[in-house]
Amino acid sequence: MSPPADIEAALAGKPRRWLVTGAAGFIGSHLVERLLALGHNVVGVDDLSTGHRKNLEQAVAGGGLNAKVRFRFIEGDLSDHAVARAACAESEFVLHQAAVGSVPRSIQDPLRTHRANVDGFASLIEAARLAKVERLVFASSSSVYGDDPRLPKRVGEEGRLLSPYAASKKANEILAQAYAQAYGFPVVGLRYFNVFGPRQDPNGAYAAVIPRWIAALSRGEVCEIFGDGETARDFCYVANVVQANLKAALAAPEAVRGQVFNVAAGGRTTLKVLYASLRDQVATNSPAAAKLEPVFKPFRAGDIRDSHADLSQTAAAIGYAPTHTLREGLVPTVASFLGAKA
């Protein structure tokens, strides 16, 4: 069985039952919308601690004919095993996105990160095993690479972990590998690199840099850059992540069981370059943004200096090929935030 090249062809006309955890979140809601639009049945679970009901409303609205009928929502905490069992009960595929994100937040509140990310995953993977799901795909993170300086980042070349968040994601990978080995459980992890796109929350102390800067620039506020601006990231538009999840769910078992793969755009952009690009785009709607210069603050504890993904293993195993570059993803992202503001 070769990696699926065309998601539509592989899934169209063959409705299946999917569970999306973290369904009210940024990435989870995009997965819900895509699956509903392809005609599938989806259960979403979220404790709404960081997710928003409006994301689910938008996902269902974009989900096509009878989307409301084909979607069911469970509000609950996955670390409660009863919630995890109920969510997995009739699911064929599980796409696990639920987590407490953010490196700085994990440093401020490591116990909350551990409970949501480690206890929650342990509860879910056991529930999925007992329910005999066909595949569990879970979100890991590029933070797992730690302080290893080698570029591009390749699975198997990791350094020392720099934050409790990174440790929680590494713990997920270790447990998944153990389940694959001990039970032959069909689980695969995806290491996300700096995902961005519409519905990403721009508010709060731990908001991701792209939505935070768009919001600040649109209000005429000065943006902060932590470090000297030469820190580089492999920014990945959310549509690429949706593709990777669906292809990982459909890939040949022998190619993915117990493995983890990078998901990114395969580029490297400094924060200075990112800021200039966002400022130019926001200025088309808010001209005053064109004159705004960032202020530079000290590096934050736990931050990785450089990030750039090697995607060769991901392409070979699941047929992943990013459809959106950073620039191609920023256009709809900026438009979505400015439209919401208007």
- For tokens 């480690």, what's the residue? 118
**Catalytic one among 165, 179, 192, 275?**
165
Q: Enter the DSSP assignment of 306.
A: B
Give the DSSP per-residue string, 153-201: B-TT------SHHHHHHHHHHHHHHHHHHHH---EEEEEE-SEE-TT--
- For tokens 């797992």, what's the residue? 144
165 classed as catalytic: yes
Residue 190 in contact with residue 245, Cβ under 8 Å? yes
CA dist 297 and 15 (Å) reads 50
- DSSP 3-state assignment of 139? strand
In what helix (H) or strand (E) does residue 236 lie, and over which residues does it extend? strand 236-237
Catalytic residues: 165
